[in-house]
């Protein structure tokens, strides 16, 4: 059996105790807590390499290791070849795509090709030496309150539907602070965007503050385009970060070290939470979260194995005082839409009109629809904020968005607008304008119709518009569409109908309607096949 190499510090101590202290092999072994065979092996190697005591002051551990293992190693290596370690390292990296590729499998393939090759332990030791020399792992110093790592756990929790017995999987969200390892975990029904956003909000509320940097993996709900240098964040996720004052810095693709903290947090959550609940049956996500509460308290309160204190104690001491304060209002997830401001500087969203500054008329804007608010952005800058209205066809206008001329125009009362119509066209048109304004819950909603009616006067003439207005009043339909239809069909030139005829004429007027006179009676005897059924 191959002996496990000792550290060069112990190798130096073996030489010192032998040559300077004059101790025997077994006493050296007991003193250093190693086997006496290892002591004999190292003393033999030192003798073959001509290494005495004291060692030269300029000799470092790497040089000592090369001297100790070069003399025997070259002959052994010739008899027992190793595969190129670069190949082993490359194959292990593919384990992210092919989970069956392990160091054990590669060793078995190696032994199949070289039956007299190294045993598994020595094989692993050689690979470890190679990997350690490739790139030193960066031990990141985490400053208090600086970084929060977030991710979904790989393991899920079954949830049973009590109505039909179907089982679906609930997903565990895990967040870990860098300095204290303080962990938050909560179950959500899915990993979609609303759950992802709500999970962050609940985490920050649990912590009582916000870390300056949030580090997610490259989830589709976080990053729409993964890139090592310039990842593109999901718009809603970016807006969430702006609201809470944090910065989103996704982990680099295929770089697990960038999120090692949350990987360890996920592992602890899977062991301490998911595994602990494995024998329980749950009928809802809320029920699971109630069961998670005590387990999460226990996880954060457990003493560290290799250092004093616990996650909670370190959180209270380090992270909590350094966290950014929560914003005054909770973030409301919104639905993003592309829109365009009309000439009247209003944007139509969900059949309601919201104003923007008049300078943005005919400009494309971005709209974020929340449950209670509507935010409108132009080139990434918010230009309007309104309370959301669900009134279909309604108008919400901020007076500050109007140009000065329109603000003066709004000094016109409905009575003044009616008098203007009467003066420009006639009394019947004034009655139509009055009735049109009265039919709208907000005067501005009638202004467009009034403007359209005035334009009809320029097209068809004031006399015809006055006649069409008289007919529209008789038909009790003073809308722009009805007056336009009357003028387009020439109905304004016909005698006014009686009350009964007006009731029948309230049907939609359209140039394609032929009327009953179009269809002449057909005599089935003289003209067979030209009518009837």
- Domain borders along the chain are 1-79, 147-322, 335-401, 412-505
- The mean pLDDT value for 22-48 works out to 83
314-338: burial string, b at 16+ Cβ within 10 Å, e else: bbeebbbeebeebeeeebbbbeeee
- Ranking 173-187, 411-425, 506-520 by mean pLDDT, the lowest is 506-520
What is the pLDDT, as a whole number, of residue 201? 93
Task: Report the distance separating Cα 303 and Cα 293, nearest Å.
Answer: 18
Q: Decide if pLDDT at 202 tops 90.
A: yes
DSSP 24: -
Predicted confidence band of residue 525 (pLDDT cuts 50, 70, 90): very low
- The mean pLDDT value for 177-196 works out to 87
Q: Decide if pLDDT at 419 tops 50.
A: yes
Bridge pairing between strands 232-233 and 183-188 = unpaired
Q: Decide if pLDDT at 97 tops 50.
A: no
Q: What is the domain class of 147-322 according to CATH?
A: alpha beta
- The mean pLDDT value for 429-454 works out to 75
Task: Report the distance separating Cα 195 and Cα 289, nearest Å.
Answer: 14
Half-sphere exposure of 154 (CA within 13 A, CB side): 7
Is the Cα torsion angle 119, 122, 125, 129 positive or negative in sign?
Answer: negative
Share of the chain above pLDDT 70, in %: 77
- Ranking 96-100, 170-174, 295-299, 481-485 by mean pLDDT, the lowest is 96-100
Q: Decide if pLDDT at 442 tops 70.
A: no
Q: Closest Cα partner for 468 from 447, 485, 455, 451?
A: 485
What is the pLDDT, as a whole number, of residue 364? 92
Asked if the 1-79 domain carries CATH number 3.30.70, the reply is: no
What is the pLDDT, as a whole number, of residue 531? 46
Mean pLDDT computed over every residue of the chain: 77
Predicted confidence band of residue 365 (pLDDT cuts 50, 70, 90): very high
- The mean pLDDT value for 116-133 works out to 75
Q: Closest Cα partner for 13 from 2, 29, 37?
A: 29
What is the pLDDT, as a whole number, of residue 413? 61
526 versus 24: which is more confidently predicted?
24
What is the pLDDT, as a whole number, of residue 205? 92
pLDDT digits (tens, 9 = 90+) for 203-261: 999 999 999 888 888 777 777 666 665 666 777 888 888 889 888 888 766 555 555 66
Work out the burial of residue 113: count CB atoms within 10 Å of its CB; fewer than 13 is exposed, 13-18 middle, 19 or more buried: exposed
């Amino acid at each position: 059996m191959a002996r496990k190499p000792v550290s060069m510090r112990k190798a130096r101590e073996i030489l010192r105790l032998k040559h300077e202290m004059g101790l025997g092999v077994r006493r050296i072994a007991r003193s250093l807590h190693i086997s006496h065979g290892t002591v004999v092996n190292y003393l033999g190697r030192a003798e073959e390499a001509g290494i005495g005591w004291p060692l030269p002051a300029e000799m470092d551990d790497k040089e000592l290791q090369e001297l100790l293992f070069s003399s025997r190693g070259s002959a052994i290596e010739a008899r027992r070849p190793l595969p190129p370690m670069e190949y082993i390292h490359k194959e292990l990296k593919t384990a992210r795509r092919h989970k069956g590729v392990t160091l054990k499998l590669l060793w078995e393939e190696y032994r199949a090709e070289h039956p007299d090759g190294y045993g598994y332990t020595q094989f692993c030791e050689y690979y470890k030496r190679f990997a350690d020399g490739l790139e030193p792992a960066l031990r990141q110093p985490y400053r208090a309150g600086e970084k929060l790592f977030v991710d979904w756990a790989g393991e899920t929790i079954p949830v049973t539907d009590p109505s039909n017995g179907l089982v679906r999987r609930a997903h565990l969200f895990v967040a870990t602070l860098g300095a204290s390892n303080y962990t938050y975990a909560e179950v959500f029904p899915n990993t979609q965007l609303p759950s992802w956003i709500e999970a962050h909000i609940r985490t920050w509320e649990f912590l009582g503050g916000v870390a300056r940097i949030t580090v997610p993996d490259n989830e589709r709900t976080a990053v729409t385009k993964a890139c090592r240098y310039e990842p593109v964040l999901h718009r809603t996720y970016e807006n969430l970060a702006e609201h809470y004052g944090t910065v989103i810095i996704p982990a680099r693709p295929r770089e697990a070290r960038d999120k090692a903290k949350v990987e360890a947090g996920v592992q602890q959550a899977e062991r301490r939470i998911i595994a602990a609940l494995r024998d329980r049956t749950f009928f809802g996500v809320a029920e699971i979260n109630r069961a998670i509460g005590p387990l999460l308290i226990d996880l954060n309160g457990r003493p560290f194995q290799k250092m004093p204190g616990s996650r909670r104690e370190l959180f209270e001491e380090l992270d909590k005082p350094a966290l950014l304060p929560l914003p005054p209002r909770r973030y409301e997830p919104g639905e993003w839409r592309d829109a365009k401001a009309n000439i009247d500087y209003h944007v139509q969203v969900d059949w309601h009109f919201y104003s923007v500054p008049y300078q943005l008329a005919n400009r494309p804007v971005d709209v974020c629809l929340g449950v209670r608010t509507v935010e409108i952005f132009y080139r990434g800058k918010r230009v309007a904020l309104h309370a959301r209205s669900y009134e279909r066809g309604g108008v919400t206008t901020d007076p500050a968005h109007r140009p000065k001329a329109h603000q003066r125009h709004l000094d016109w009362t409905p009575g003044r607008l009616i008098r203007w119509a009467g003066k420009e066209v006639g009394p019947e048109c004034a009655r139509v304008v009055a009735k049109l304004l009265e039919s709208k819950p907000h005067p501005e909603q009638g202004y467009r119709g009034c403007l359209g009616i005035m334009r009809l006067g320029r097209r068809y003439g004031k006399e015809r518009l006055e006649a069409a207005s008289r007919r529209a009043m008789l038909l009790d339909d003073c809308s722009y569409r009805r007056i336009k239809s009357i003028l387009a069909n020439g109905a304004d030139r016909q005698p006014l109908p009686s009350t009964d005829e007006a009731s029948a004429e309230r049907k939609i007027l359209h140039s394609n309607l032929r009327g009953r006179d179009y269809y002449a009676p057909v005599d089935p005897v003289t003209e067979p096949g030209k009518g009837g059924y």
